[in-house]
């Protein structure tokens, strides 16, 4: 083995936005373990994802390209063979490559993003699901007629019967959440996690294995992805005390139902979800602290590269959106990028430079002295700086949503979005007639005060803002071409085939309604 080849551990927390990490300044103590370990770590304050949801974001992560280039944005499509993928590159360099995931279908054979992994491991489902099924089968009397359609698929609160109208689906789903079975499902979920603990235990097992090869381990965990159901010891920690008496199981967590007005939500609902979300982050922080303490005792720890990040964030009611679709605001794009560099690199502390998840592949190639593939559109963050970060939302609604007419019920979201950001500014442009938006992130981190007036006035902008606008205009043609191609395929009902197992996973995660 080449001693200069570091072990690489890449940990992705699905839908974990940076602003909810106390290590990034959040006022709730969600990440005390990362703070305890901070002397070993570098914290990148301005890391932006290239996309707002898992499939295009992880494709960008593995290929160093943006969504308008790799076009992996429609469920069932697979990564084109012409793109070299990071696991493949490392495998060819003699790395033992492992993929360890929760119940996430995107980094798998379904998408082609599993290319280059020697082994794949998926966390087993929690045993309470089977236990509740057995209880249901033993019931002496059938459920009441009004409950049959609503809870036929319990305990999976996320499933909806496609045989009903959209309004009936919403009514049935929301009814199911408020039933005793829905409450019991939510209660039982607090005794288990979504596989995160099992994933990190599997990582430790891999590290304990004797191997002559360096390791690359990719870990993708679902705890911070909706539905938010943290373990009980974290469940009440961040929800306002005055809301502890509410039925949390009844709070809607389905983004599309909220987007089309079929599941109105109150500020109290979003406060409950925000507290549960913070509990999920705190639980993951606890587990990461345990893992770091264990791995720090292993022989090659000093030469190990560890990256903790997310594929995107989550809105939780911000800008009127539930979930992680429709918009490209910072609650979706600003992700944690926390790195334990090998001691030979030695970077620690707060880092202000602008970076993106697409920078991973060229950075690792640079570390290993490898040639960077021609496809790469990103930078080696150790040897270059970026002036702008780009993010593209090419698919506001998928094929299933369009078949249900969601794009007509929420026409304000039926458009593609392109954003560019510089050190200070963030610029949004849209594929419809929605006016551009420009924000000074230094003064307006929540993007509330659009600096571009009605009528598109850009007067008074400084040189940095004007430069960003010009760069955005240069990027637009490729984005518009990709958005048009994706939209035409979706409206035509084109989507790749998927197995019933994958469809079930996507439905449970809220990607299919």
Rounded to whole angstroms, how far apart are CA atoms 184 and 90?
45
Residue 513, H or E segment: none
Q: For residues 5-9, give the mean pLDDT.
A: 97
pLDDT at site 453: 80
pTM for the full model?
A: 0.89
Preceding peptide of 155 cis, ω within 30°: yes
**Long-range CB contacts (within 8 A, 24+) of 140-146:** 146/175
- Give yes or no for residue 62 having a pLDDT over 50: yes
Hey, which bits of 189-242 come out as E strands? 215-221
Query: What are the structural domains of the chain?
Result: 8-126+192-508 (3.40.720.10), 128-156+167-186 (no CATH)
DSSP-assigned letter for residue 262 = S
pLDDT tens digits for 419-439? 999 999 999 999 999 999 999
DSSP state of 213: S
Q: Residues 143-154: what's their mean pLDDT? A: 40
Tens-digit pLDDT profile for residues 288-312: 999 999 999 999 999 999 999 999 9
- Dump pLDDT digits (tens) for 15-34: 999 999 999 999 999 999 99
CB 84 within 8 A of CB 373: yes
Phi, psi of 425 (to 5 degrees): -110, 160
Average pLDDT rounded to a whole number, residues 458-477? 93
Residue 457, pLDDT score: 62
Q: Which position has the higher pLDDT, 193 or 137?
A: 193
437-440 and 425-430 beta bridge pairing: antiparallel
E-strand ranges in 29-177 read 42-48, 96-101, 119-122
What's the rounded mean pLDDT across residues 401-407? 90
């Amino acid at each position: 083995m080449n001693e200069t080849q570091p072990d690489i551990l890449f940990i992705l927390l699905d839908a974990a936005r940076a602003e909810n990490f106390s290590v990034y300044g959040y006022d709730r103590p969600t990440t005390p373990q990362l703070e305890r370990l901070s002397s070993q770590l570098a914290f990148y304050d301005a890391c932006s994802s290239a996309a707002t949801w898992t499939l295009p974001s992880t494709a960008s992560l593995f290929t160093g390209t943006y969504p308008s280039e790799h076009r992996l944005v429609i469920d069932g499509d697979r990564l084109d063979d012409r793109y070299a993928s990071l696991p493949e590159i490392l495998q060819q360099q003699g790395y033992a490559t492992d993929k360890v995931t929760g119940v996430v279908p995107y980094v798998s054979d379904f998408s082609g993003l599993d290319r280059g992994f020697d082994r794949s491991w998926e966390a087993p489902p929690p045993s309470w699901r089977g236990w509740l099924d057995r209880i249901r089968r033993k019931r002496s009397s059938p459920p009441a007629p009004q409950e049959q359609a609503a809870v036929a698929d319990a305990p999976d609160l996320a499933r909806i019967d496609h045989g009903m109208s959209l309004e009936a689906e919403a009514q049935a789903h929301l009814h199911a959440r408020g039933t005793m079975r829905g409450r019991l499902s939510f209660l039982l979920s607090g005794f288990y996690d979504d596989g995160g603990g099992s994933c990190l235990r599997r990582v430790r097992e891999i590290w304990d294995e004797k191997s002559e090869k360096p390791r690359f381990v990719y870990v993708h965990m679902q705890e911070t992805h909706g539905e938010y159901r943290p373990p009980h010891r974290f469940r009440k920690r961040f929800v306002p005390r005055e809301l502890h008496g509410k039925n949390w199981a009844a709070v809607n967590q389905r983004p599309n139902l909220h987007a089309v007005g079929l599941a109105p939500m109150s500020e109290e609902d979003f406060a409950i979800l925000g507290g549960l979300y913070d509990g999920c982050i705190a639980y993951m922080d606890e587990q990461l602290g345990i893992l770091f303490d264990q791995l720090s005792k292993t022989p090659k720890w000093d030469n190990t590269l560890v990256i903790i990040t997310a594929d995107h964030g989550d809105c939780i009611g911000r800008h009127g959106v539930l979930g992680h679709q429709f918009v490209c605001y910072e609650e979706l794009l600003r992700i944690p990028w926390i790195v334990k560099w090998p001691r030979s690199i030695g970077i620690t502390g707060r880092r202000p430079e602008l970076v993106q998840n697409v920078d991973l592949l060229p950075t690792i190639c640079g570390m290993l002295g490898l040639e960077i593939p021609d496809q790469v559109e990103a930078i080696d963050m150790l040897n270059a700086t970026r002036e702008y970060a780009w993010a593209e939302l090419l698919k506001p609604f998928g094929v299933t949503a369009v078949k249900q007419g969601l794009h007509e019920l929420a026409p304000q979201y039926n458009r593609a979005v392109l954003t560019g950001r510089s050190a200070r500014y963030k610029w949004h442009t849209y594929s419809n007639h929605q006016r551009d938006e420009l924000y000074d992130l230094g003064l307006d981190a929540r993007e509330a005060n659009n600096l571009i007036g009605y009528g598109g006035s850009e007067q008074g902008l400084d040189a940095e803002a004007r430069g960003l606008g010009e760069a955005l205009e240069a990027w637009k043609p490729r984005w518009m071409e990709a958005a048009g191609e994706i939209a035409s395929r979706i409206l035509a009902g084109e989507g790749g085939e998927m197995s019933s197992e994958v469809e079930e996973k996507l439905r449970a995660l809220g990607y299919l309604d």
